Amino acid sequence: MYNSKITGLGYYVPENIVTNNDLKEFMETSDEWIQERTGIKERRWIDPATEDTTAVMGAKASRIAIERAGLTKDEIDFIVFATLSPDMYFPGGGVQVQEMLDMPTIGALDVRNQCSGFIYAMSVADQFIKTGMYKNILVIGSEHHSGGLEKSTRGRGVTVIFGDGAGAAVLSRCEEGGKGILSSHLHSEGKHAKQLVLEGPATQRWVPEILEKNDPDDVSYYPYMNGPFVFKHAITRFSEAIVEGLEANKLEKEDIDILIPHQANLRIAQFIQKKFRLSDDQVYNNIMKYGNTTAASVIIALTEAWEKGKIKDNDLVVLAAFGSGFTWGSVIIRW
């Protein structure tokens, strides 16, 4: 059985920076209020005047990752695209990237696991490579949140958190034992689905019904989050997923060189850091600059950490995420 190793990384974020003070133009809030609760100072939102979309950003990040992997687009065997905000209800973003990059008629799979989407996507790609089915797989996480947020005081509890962006990784076959992805661990708990949810429009409540009612109090087509409830479960599941990954590989928390957590809330990351007694150099956070980019957050942070030289050969890298579903998981990597 083969191992899969990350051979290329790339990310792309829109140029348009939206600061906490900018948000005061259309909602009652403050820089202090947002930073205290989330750690976020600014985020990137797509400028509607640009070409950027979820798929376009994914393609831009992918070009960088493929080039850094030393490959051509024709050497990619498969695409796994993670997002909750596709350009279209269907088809998914994976086939759009295949077309945008003018790739051969390779398969493209979309993953809809929200904040843990990239973790799930990495795990799926890893299995394809381990079995020998594919040699090089493009794994993408991309989100366009800003087009679907309630930009008002009523929606501020969610709107201030989310940003737009994309990241991509190339996973390649590796025959060197003990290197690359050591294991991945995935979980879900659907009974809490409505604690972090966007209910419509969906096939149970399609667009004509929403328009017919024209109810200004209908917020079902905006994201809803029970913040305290999500926070409580996140810190528990984050810890469990990390411990599970370490134990599966007979490792201890002291073996972690760097933890890349999903960028949901700086307070969650800080809680996990303290619990595992990790130093500031052992945890990489960038939520301050980009907000929560959901399926893109882990791969953007991983790419930035690597670009800054914070990840070195043979380092133990732990990726972990928790989010809507609830779904959560971890990926343990020997770099």
- Does residue 118 have a cis peptide bond before it, meaning omega lies within 30 degrees of 0? no
User: Does the N-terminal peptide bond of residue 91 adopt cis geometry, omega within 30 degrees of 0?
Assistant: yes
292 in active site: yes
294 — alpha (psi -120 to 50), left (phi > 0) or beta?
Answer: left
Per-domain residue ranges of the chain? 3-178, 181-334
Catalytic residue list contains 144? no
Instruction: For domain 3-178, give the CATH number.
Output: 3.40.47.10
Closest CA to 80 of 56, 58, 64: 58
**Are 3-178 and 181-334 equal in CATH topology?**
yes
Cβ atoms 302, 169 nearer than 8 A = yes
Residue 187 a catalytic site member: no
- Asked whether 299 and 11 are in contact (CB, 8 A), the reply is yes
In a structure prediction context, what are the per-residue pLDDT tens digits for the chain, which is 335 residues long?
899 999 999 999 999 999 999 999 999 999 999 999 999 999 999 999 999 999 999 999 999 999 999 999 999 999 999 999 999 999 999 999 999 999 999 999 999 999 999 999 999 999 999 999 999 999 999 999 999 999 999 989 999 999 999 999 999 999 888 899 999 999 999 999 999 888 877 777 676 676 666 777 777 778 888 989 999 999 999 999 999 999 999 999 999 999 999 999 999 999 999 999 999 999 999 999 999 999 999 999 999 999 999 999 999 999 999 999 999 999 999 99
Catalytic residue among 115, 185, 233, 265: 115
DSSP state of 89: S
Catalytic annotation, pick one of 3, 262, 265, 285: 262
φ, ψ of residue 306 to 5 degrees: the values are: -65, -45
DSSP three-state, residue 248: helix
Domain at 181-334, CATH class: alpha beta
Is the whole model's pTM more than 0.85, yes or no?
yes
Residue 47 CB coordination number (10 Å): 13
119 phi/psi in degrees, rounded to 5: -60, -45
98 exposure class (CB count in 10 Å sphere: 0-12, 13-18, 19+): buried
How confident is the model at residue 208, as a pLDDT? 67
Give the strand pairing for 107-111 and 78-82.
parallel
Report the length, in residues, of the chain.
Answer: 335
The two three-digit tokens of residue 331, written as one number: 């990926």
Number of other CB atoms surrounding residue 113 within 10 Å: 26
- Residue 33: strand pairing partners: none
| pLDDT value at residue 264 | 95
